[in-house]
């Protein structure tokens, strides 16, 4: 009985012409065909992994009270704005018809000694200039067919522009945002000569506010270049006798890619997207 449990016993085989196996040409050809099929199958099913053409993606949503801030530059948040003529839908810049003002706002909440909360507000008036193709960064070529010289953009060379950023919400400890104000030309402003009221009314009573900006599309299956900037726009009717407020939010996306075969090789990207 103990002999049946022996794992170290040596197998005894018969041999044919001194060989442990009998081989033939047909068997060799069959083996070669199987090897070729195996190699082709490995190349066919393994190329997606090697070339990273079909990466596995995992997506999840979560809320962050204080997401990372976005600094305004031609590589982050590019936008141009103005009014369109309601008759031909062509944008126009004419300070004798309407004026614009762009204000950066920073609201910081501070806890006082009596545990009350005080909001410290800082405002900076930003300078504007006529838009050019250079104001739209990597997606500039997509804006080439728009009459950019009739749209307002943030002036690229102005004080404190490097510190202008967007972050938080009205509930956050620090809330930073940009206001774009459009107003009818003020007849009481002696430094400016306004057009006739009737002419202004014709252009403003059914005016169209237009905002052009770069947005971002995400393709998680494109491993090398998952993000792509594209031209986006927003239009809405305005009127000189009605106050209208529009809010647009920036959304952060955190993308983590791992191209390691055995060990993790993670790379994090933090693009944003317009809501």
Closest CA to 104 of 119, 118, 120, 122: 122
What tokens were used for 265?
A: 């090789």
Rounded to 5 degrees, what angle do the CA atoms 79, 231, 153 make? 15
Whether the predicted pLDDT of 7 surpasses 50: no
- 114 found inside a domain: yes
How many angstroms separate the CA atoms of 64 and 254, rounded?
Answer: 11
Instruction: Identify the residue with better confidence: 231 or 269.
Output: 231
The range of the structural domain enclosing residue 225 comes to 70-274
Name residues whose C-beta falls within 8 Å of residue 269's C-beta, 6 or more positions apart in sequence.
226, 227, 254, 255, 256, 257
- 46 found inside a domain: no
Tens-place pLDDT, residues 91-126: 999 888 888 999 999 999 888 888 888 889 999 999
Tens-place pLDDT, residues 214-255: 888 887 777 777 778 888 999 988 887 777 888 888 777 777
- 269 found inside a domain: yes
- 16 found inside a domain: no
How many angstroms separate the CA atoms of 49 and 117, rounded?
Answer: 55
Q: What pTM does this model have?
A: 0.71
Please return the burial class of 232, using the count of CB atoms within 10 Å of its CB with bins 0-12, 13-18 and 19+: middle
What tokens were used for 167?
A: 């972050």
- 5 found inside a domain: no
How many angstroms separate the CA atoms of 81 and 104, rounded?
Answer: 16
- 238 found inside a domain: yes
DSSP 220-236: TT-SS--EEEEEEEEEE
Number of domains in the chain: 1
Instruction: Report in angstroms the alpha-carbon separations of 126 from 12, 47, 67, 73, 241.
Output: 93, 52, 24, 13, 26
Check if the beta carbon of residue 82 is closer than 8 Å to that of residue 152. yes
Beta bridge partners of 178: 104
How many angstroms separate the CA atoms of 252 and 256, rounded?
Answer: 13
- 216 found inside a domain: yes
Tens-place pLDDT, residues 175-222: 999 999 988 887 776 566 888 877 788 788 888 899 998 888 887 777
- 235 found inside a domain: yes
């Amino acid at each position: 009985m103990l002999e049946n449990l022996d794992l170290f016993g040596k197998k005894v085989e018969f041999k044919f012409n001194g060989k442990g196996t009998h081989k033939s040409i047909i068997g060799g050809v069959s083996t070669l065909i199987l090897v070729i099929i195996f190699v082709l199958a490995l190349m066919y099913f393994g190329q997606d992994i090697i070339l990273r053409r079909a990466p596995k993606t995992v997506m999840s949503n979560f809320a962050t009270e204080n997401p990372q801030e976005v600094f305004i530059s031609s590589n982050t948040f590019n936008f141009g704005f103005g009014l369109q003529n309601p008759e031909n839908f062509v944008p126009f810049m004419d300070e004798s018809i309407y004026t614009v003002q762009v204000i950066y706002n920073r609201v910081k909440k501070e806890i006082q000694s009596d545990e009350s909360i005080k909001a410290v507000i800082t405002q900076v008036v930003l300078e504007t200039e006529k838009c050019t193709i250079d104001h739209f960064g990597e997606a500039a070529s997509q804006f080439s067919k728009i009459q950019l010289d009739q749209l307002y953009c943030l002036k690229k060379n102005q004080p404190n522009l490097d510190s202008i950023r967007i972050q938080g919400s009205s509930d956050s400890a620090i809330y930073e945002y940009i206001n774009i104000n459009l107003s009818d030309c003020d007849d009481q402003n002696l430094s400016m000569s306004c057009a006739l009221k009737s002419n202004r009314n014709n252009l403003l009573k059914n005016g169209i506010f237009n905002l052009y900006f770069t947005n971002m599309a995400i393709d998680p299956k494109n491993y090398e270049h998952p993000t792509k900037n594209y031209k986006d726009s927003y239009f809405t009717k305005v009127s000189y006798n009605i106050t209208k407020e529009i809010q647009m939010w920036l959304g952060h996306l955190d993308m983590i890619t791992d191209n390691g075969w055995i060990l993790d090789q993670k790379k994090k990207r933090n693009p944003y997207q317009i809501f």
